[in-house]
Amino acid sequence: MMAARLARFVGFVAPPLLFLLPLYGQPGGLAPLAALYRHAVEIRRETVGPDDPRYAQSLKDLALFSLQTGDSGPEPAALLREALAVERKAFAPGDVRLAGTMESLAGALLGRNQASEAERLYREAVAIREKAEGAENVSLAAPLAHLAELREAAGDQPGSRKLRERVLTIRGKANGDTAAETAAAWSALAQVQQASGELPLAEEGFRKAIAAYEGSLGAGHPETGTVLNNLASVLEAEGRPAAAEPLYRRALAILEDRMGPNHGADHPEVSGDLANLAALLAGKGDAAGAEPLYRRAIAIRESRFGPDDPRLSPLLGELGQLLLARKDAAGAEPLLSRALSITEKELGDEHPETTRARFNYAWLLYSTGQAARAKPVLVEVLATTERTMGADHPMARRLRELIASMR
């Protein structure tokens, strides 16, 4: 009897303690809370048995705790898999409670790069919810969105688009056209359209997302800034840099402001916005405006991720190319050389970023009258390109022509 009361107490107290996690930030501070969750699971199993849904709930509580804290205890996916097995025995096959556990397990599997099983679980959860709650119930929005992400990762743009369109319909009906949830659905669909080259549709979608975010979260909210950045990239791709530039600047200002005076100026996301604006200015021929933005973006990433982080390589390469175009080969050389060194060390010889860095360095050599040094590097770039993209790829053909012209 005492064990049963203790189980109820621990099961009642432990989940709300997730809200106190910020108070447990010191090393070892989570240990008592982790022990409480594990103790709740043990007591549940002893008092109600391993086939009771209440035991499954304790497993799910422990899994959620582990996912949110990175606790080194039992693996969350294993806990959720056991919970789902218990619930499959306890509940009818179409019980909507199964769908929630399936979605939690699918999310944990995604964290372990087990996309195939995660997709199967999401689809099963969607089927249960459709039958139990209707095809337009708002509970379908999240699993459908996850399925869309999986389809995108698999390169299935048409499949992803269909799912994104359905999420948008559901969100619009359930949350309204100006809700933040609907804005997120518009933005996600627009990203698929942008990736498919449907730039006018993407532009329309991003504009609707911005209007909804501004109405629901405010004009200065980071989500608004993110979509402003996305819209700017569409306008730039459409050949409208004059329209894109103020959007990039506004997005950057929002991010710097909302991250706070002590963190905004050197936040990693700021470096991405700086790089986008720098690339636009460089494309307009404003090298003087682009260079300090690139240098600041590089400094932020160095400070946050270290001097050898692969995320530095694209920025180093772009700044190096900018300086080379300004006839500053002496300034470009160490940047392009460093970009190549980072990618070779951190990403490997076959990575596309390494191939790009090699080409940039070879072009520097060729442009400065060092064709004899450039040629073997270009031959190496050609070999990699043919292996990874095929001998008939346009880049491979252009490389062969360039190498032939150096004889």
Q: Does residue 330 lie in a domain region?
A: no
- Indicate whether 189 and 238 sit together in one domain: yes
Q: Does residue 196 lie in a domain region?
A: yes
Q: What are 262-320's pLDDT values in tens digits?
A: 555 677 888 999 999 999 999 999 999 999 999 999 999 999 999 999 999 999 999 99
- Could you give the CA distance from residue 118 to residue 109 in angstroms, rounded to a whole number? 6
Q: Does residue 205 lie in a domain region?
A: yes
SS3 of the chain: helix, strand, coil, percent, to 5: 80, 0, 20
Q: Does residue 154 lie in a domain region?
A: yes
Last residue within a domain, chosen from 74, 101, 128 = 128
- Indicate whether 8 and 111 sit together in one domain: yes
Last residue within a domain, chosen from 94, 128, 162 = 128
Answer whether 201's CB lies under 8 Å from 190's CB: yes
Number of domains comprising the chain: 2
- Indicate whether 119 and 162 sit together in one domain: no
- In the three-class reduction of DSSP (H, G, I as helix; E, B as strand; rest coil), residue 347 is classed as coil
- Indicate whether 99 and 192 sit together in one domain: no
Instruction: Find the CATH number of the domain harbouring 205.
Output: 1.25.40.10
pLDDT at 266 (0 to 100): 73
DSSP result, 283-295: HTT-HHHHHHHHH
Last residue within a domain, chosen from 234, 258, 282 = 258
Answer whether 97's CB lies under 8 Å from 77's CB: no
- Could you give the CA distance from residue 240 to residue 400 in angstroms, rounded to a whole number? 33
- Could you give the CA distance from residue 171 to residue 193 in angstroms, rounded to a whole number? 18
- Indicate whether 150 and 78 sit together in one domain: no
Answer whether 154's CB lies under 8 Å from 147's CB: no
Q: Does residue 93 lie in a domain region?
A: yes
- In the three-class reduction of DSSP (H, G, I as helix; E, B as strand; rest coil), residue 334 is classed as helix
251, amino acid identity: A
Contacts 24+ apart (CB under 8 A), 98-105: 98/125, 98/128, 99/124, 99/125, 99/126, 99/128, 99/129, 99/132, 99/139, 99/143, 100/125, 101/56, 101/60, 102/128, 103/142, 103/143, 103/146, 104/60, 104/63, 104/64, 104/80, 105/77, 105/80, 105/81
pLDDT at 259 (0 to 100): 67
- Indicate whether 105 and 6 sit together in one domain: yes
- Indicate whether 142 and 167 sit together in one domain: yes
Q: Work out whether the CA dihedral 374, 380, 384, 390 comes out positive or negative.
A: positive
Under-50 pLDDT residues of the chain: 1-27, 261
Q: Residue 200's domain spans which residues?
A: 138-258
pLDDT at 56 (0 to 100): 95
- Indicate whether 12 and 115 sit together in one domain: yes
- Indicate whether 198 and 111 sit together in one domain: no
pLDDT at 4 (0 to 100): 47
Q: Does residue 296 lie in a domain region?
A: no
CB count in 10 Å sphere of residue 249: 15
222, amino acid identity: P
Q: What is the pTM of this model?
A: 0.82
Q: Does residue 368 lie in a domain region?
A: no
